[in-house]
A and B are shown apart, each in its own frame.
Chain A
Amino acid sequence: EIVLTQSPATLSLSPGERATLSCRASQSISTYLAWYQQKPGQAPRLLIYDASNRATGIPARFSGSGSGTDFTLTISSLEPEDFAVYYCQQRSNWPRTFGQGTKVEIK
């Protein structure tokens, strides 16, 4: 099973700041990685797929990069609605796995 390790567990930032979230895979997954955002009481929302493609309707301040084992989600300038938990997921191998999540909180 591929283990996805997200860091940091919590990111404390202010609106307008840049957020950089990391997801590291236990083995190479090419670019078969997605990022989801989840707010309290809501279902997850797909942000980025195949490492760097924004899903429909996702603002340009969200960007993804990486390949192989190291991936990054960047939010260029945090808006109030961006404070949430972010998960990465791989679809390179079975079973599909998620990272444990990074909480982006207001500083």
Chain B
Amino acid sequence: EVQLVESGGGLIQPGGSLRLSCAASGFTVSSNFMSWVRQAPGKGLEWVSVLYSGGSTYYADSVKGRFTISRDNSKNTLYLQMNSLRAEDTAVYYCARQAFNWNYHWGQGTLVTVSS
């Protein structure tokens, strides 16, 4: 059974850094396309980043240069390193495994709150 469990969210001051983790089971992260999608409180979905099995990465303009997506094959875990955090980064962050080139399996999300 495919499972994705995000962790690492919390309250962080503006300008701070946070690393989100997405522990996967039931499949191999390195062989799949993996994404991060976020949702600000009461708002819609926003695509954040994708990491392809070959290593290519893409980012939303709103996070480019501040966020980095990566994986640890030995831990079968996806990461999102978030630097220079802003209030507008406050959101629930979901990781997702792609199938058919779409976000098919989703984690339960982890809440990041950027506030002083």
What residues of chain A have their CB less than 8 Å away from a CB belonging to chain B? 1, 34, 36, 38, 43-46, 49-50, 53, 55, 87, 89, 91, 94-101
B61 on interface, CB distance cutoff 8 Å: yes
A95 in contact with B107 given A49-B100, A53-B100, A87-B44 (CB within 8 Å):
no
Bound complex: CA A53 to CA B102 (Å): 12
Q: Interface-forming stretch among B13-21, B45-53, B71-79?
A: B45-53
Assign chain B's interface to a size class. 20 to 34
Question: Is there contact, CB below 8 Å, between B103 and A44?
Answer: yes
Q: How far is the CB of A49 from chain B (nearest CB, A)?
A: 5
Question: Is there contact, CB below 8 Å, between B104 and A98?
Answer: no
Select which of A46, A91, A96, A101 is within 8 A of B104 by beta carbon: A46
B27 on interface, CB distance cutoff 8 Å: no
Complex A-B: 19 CB contacts under 8 Å? A34-B102, A36-B45, A36-B103, A43-B107, A44-B37, A45-B106, A46-B104, A53-B100, A55-B100, A55-B104, A89-B45, A89-B47, A95-B47, A95-B58, A95-B59, A96-B50, A98-B45, A99-B44, A100-B44
Q: How far is the CB of A80 from chain B (nearest CB, A)?
A: 23
A35: nearest chain-B partner, CB-CB: B102
The interface residues of chain B lying within 8 Å CB-to-CB of A44 are: 37, 45, 94, 103, 106
Q: How far is the CB of B34 from chain A (nearest CB, A)?
A: 13
Of the candidates A1, A46, A89, the one having the most CB atoms from chain B within 10 angstroms of its own CB is A46
The interface residues of chain A lying within 8 Å CB-to-CB of B58 are: 94-95
Question: Is there contact, CB below 8 Å, between A43 and B106?
Answer: yes
Q: How far is the CB of B45 from chain A (nearest CB, A)?
A: 4
The interface residues of chain B lying within 8 Å CB-to-CB of A34 are: 102-103
